[in-house]
Amino acid sequence: MSYESILYEVKGPLGLITLNRPKKHNAVSLGMLDELHHAVDRASADDQVRVIGFTGAGEKSFAAGSDLGEVVDRDLKKALEPIVQGLAEKLERASKVTIAAINGICFGGGLEVALGCDLRLASHNARFATPEGKLGIIPGGGATQRLPRLVGRAWALEMLIMGEPIDADRALHIGLVTRLVEQAELLTELQNMAEHIAEFAPLVPQFMKAMVNYGMEGSSSAGLALEKFAQSALCSTADKAEGLDAFLNKRPPDWQGK
């Protein structure tokens, strides 16, 4: 598949997906969503890729939201299709770690793509908003569910109901992002994070995110039982034996992913 709205490249352990419609502030079109799904599947199937990263072309926008020109033409049936929801869910369920490196504007559907990622870092010029209420609609890509789970009920309602942008410092304060860097260092930081994660046995990040995601959908007791099962499963892997032997013999581990 050739891409018209995104860029895809593999840089060591990082599969980097760039939303590439800078003249439209990287607005998420239906065509872009198809390409994003394809690129995520492509990165997920590549054994070299350990982290799937997202960023926006240019310095002004990660993604300004959904392409409003298309929204006008969507009928009710199309509006109810889980389009962005499906992408965000795919990112949550992906076996590999997903990270959004957010530059500039991150509004609406663009924010919902970022919310589907496991981790979010941002440049100091980043701004975040869910402005759908001003258009007479509500978010349809998961923001009403993911925001409160991430930043708490009060700040989620503040963002959803008021629809006003918050800056990068506020986003860091409420836990929407975990790292702030200078614009020029954003992709370097993303690459460093990917290389750090690649030092772990491949199954470890996969199990970590699964425990958190599935655990938050049930009771704490069910999550703890699942955690103990997952820990036991990892203790029987070849990588566990390799990790212990490498540590005791002070050498780099040779992970096999099994």
The one-letter code for the residue type at 198 is A
Rounded to whole angstroms, the maximal C-alpha distance in the chain is 63
Choose, from 35, 112, 158, 189, the residue flagged as catalytic.
112
Q: Is the pLDDT of residue 41 over 90?
A: yes
The phi and psi torsions of 8 (rounded to 5 degrees) equal: -135, 130
Concerning whether 189 is annotated as a catalytic residue, the answer is: no
218-242 per-position pLDDT tens digit? 888 888 888 888 888 888 898 888 8
Number of Cβ within a 10 Å radius of residue 178:
12
CATH architecture of 6-197: Alpha-Beta Complex (3.90)
Concerning whether 199 is annotated as a catalytic residue, the answer is: no
**pTM for the predicted model, two decimal places:** 0.91
Choose, from 132, 199, 217, 242, the residue flagged as catalytic.
132
Q: With bands split at pLDDT 50, 70 and 90, how would you rate the model's confidence at 71?
A: low
Whether the CB-CB separation of 98 and 56 falls below 8 Å is answered with no
131-166 per-position pLDDT tens digit? 988 888 888 889 999 999 999 999 999 999 999 999
Mean pLDDT confidence for 8-26 = 96
Q: State the pairing for strand pair 179-181/119-123.
A: parallel
